[in-house]
């Protein structure tokens, strides 16, 4: 009987999973079309199924996306039934707009620090570097995420809001925006939002985060909002300038299949470079004449000037094209 109740609760959430699936396929199609209309960031980069590692990223989108979403809901309802006191009242008594605002700010703040820690921690970096090893970036690249990291990003951060009885439409709406934002941030097309870069994280900022250069890769950790980067000194923005190369130095031949990508977490950066590098790359941080901890991952023990690049000018001078 208990199992039947658990299944019943899970099925009640099924429409939201279907919604995410529709948003995924619709958004992917639209942004792949836009990549052929807008001027590309890197004209030489292949996009779509022809791109290296595209199938692995598509597999990750299914496993880390709808599958992870469905499993999370099932686990959550099992926990809720064990701890019903956690969901009495809670956020359900708040106005819907207030729920949405609180969810956005708290979730985005948590994801900023989670993202930053995945760069600063050698252990967490082993999982996150999978996302950075894409060398020809397009809209689908947003889903190149290790399953371990996806569990935190799409599960544990959201879990407390379920226990607080946050309206599920708030979570579905945020997830919808998050999927479309991810497509936009990674799509191989030049877009500009000007002064809005000081509030929202944009493709301009996120492409720098994927740069092989230390000044970009150690910056712009925000998800939807960029205010955390500006507040904590991790923002990097050059008006009208895009990175010349993306990826992780020394890891040009990273595995292209999904299961092999997952398995690389057992290796250090040095071991990954030895196994999958071409032997010709020089660390971006070395090129900037700064100390590094490994041939691939820029050191976090460098000064702001050396690791972040040229200080960003005031807003009035740095605003990009509207």
Tokens linked to 245: 């190369």
Residue entry with tokens 């970096």:
125
- DSSP states along 13-65: THHHHHHHHHHHHHHHHHHHHHTTTSPPSSTTS--GGGSTTHHHHHHHHHIII
Strand stretches in the chain, DSSP E: none
Nearest one of 202, 221, 208, 59 to 140, comparing CA atoms: 59
Chain mean pLDDT for the chain: 75
Total length of the chain: 322
Considering only residues 101 and 297, tell me which one the structure prediction assigns the higher pLDDT.
101
Instruction: Quickly state the pLDDT bin for 99 (edges 50, 70, 90).
Output: very high
pTM of structure: 0.74
pLDDT value for 208 = 94
Q: How far apart are CA 280 and CA 299, in angstroms?
A: 20
Q: How far apart are CA 185 and CA 204, in angstroms?
A: 8
Which residues face 246 on adjacent strands? 211
Instruction: Quickly state the pLDDT bin for 191 (edges 50, 70, 90).
Output: very high
Is 90 exceeded by the pLDDT of residue 181? yes
Q: What are phi and psi of 211, to 5 degrees?
A: -65, 150
Mean pLDDT score, 191-210:
94
pLDDT digits (tens, 9 = 90+) for 252-267: 788 877 778 888 889 8
Is 90 exceeded by the pLDDT of residue 285? no
Mean pLDDT score, 1-27:
64
């Amino acid at each position: 009987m208990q199992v039947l109740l658990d299944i019943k609760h899970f099925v009640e959430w099924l429409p939201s999973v279907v919604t995410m699936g529709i948003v995924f396929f619709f958004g992917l199609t639209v942004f792949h079309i836009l990549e052929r209309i807008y001027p590309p960031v890197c004209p030489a980069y292949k996009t779509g199924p022809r791109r290296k590692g595209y199938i692995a990223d598509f597999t990750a989108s299914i496993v880390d996306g709808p599958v992870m979403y469905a499993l999370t809901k099932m686990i959550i309802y099992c926990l809720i039934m064990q701890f019903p006191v956690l969901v009495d009242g809670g956020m359900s008594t708040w106005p819907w707009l207030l729920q949405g605002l609180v969810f956005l700010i708290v979730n985005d703040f948590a994801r900023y620090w989670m993202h930053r820690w995945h760069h600063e921690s050698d252990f967490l970096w082993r999982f996150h570097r999978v996302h950075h090893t894409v060398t020809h970036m397009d809209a689908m690249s947003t889903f190149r995420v290790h399953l371990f990291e996806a569990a935190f990003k799409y599960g544990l951060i959201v879990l407390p809001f379920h226990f607080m009885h946050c309206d599920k439409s708030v979570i579905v709406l945020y997830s919808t925006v998050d999927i479309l934002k991810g497509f936009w941030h990674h799509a191989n097309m030049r877009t500009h939002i000007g002064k809005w870069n000081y509030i929202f994280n944009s493709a301009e900022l996120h492409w720098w985060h994927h740069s092989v250069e230390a000044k970009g890769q150690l910056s712009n950790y925000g998800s939807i909002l960029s205010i955390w980067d500006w507040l904590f000194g991790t923002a990097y923005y050059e008006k009208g300038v895009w990175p010349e190369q993306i990826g992780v130095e020394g890891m040009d031949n990273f595995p292209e299949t999904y299961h092999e990508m997952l398995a690389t977490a057992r290796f250090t950066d040095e071991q990954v470079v030895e196994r999958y590098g071409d032997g010709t790359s020089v660390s971006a941080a070395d090129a900037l004449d700064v100390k590094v901890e490994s041939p691939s991952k820029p050191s976090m023990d460098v000064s702001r000037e050396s690791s972040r690049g040229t200080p960003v000018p005031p807003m009035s001078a740095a605003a990009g094209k509207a």
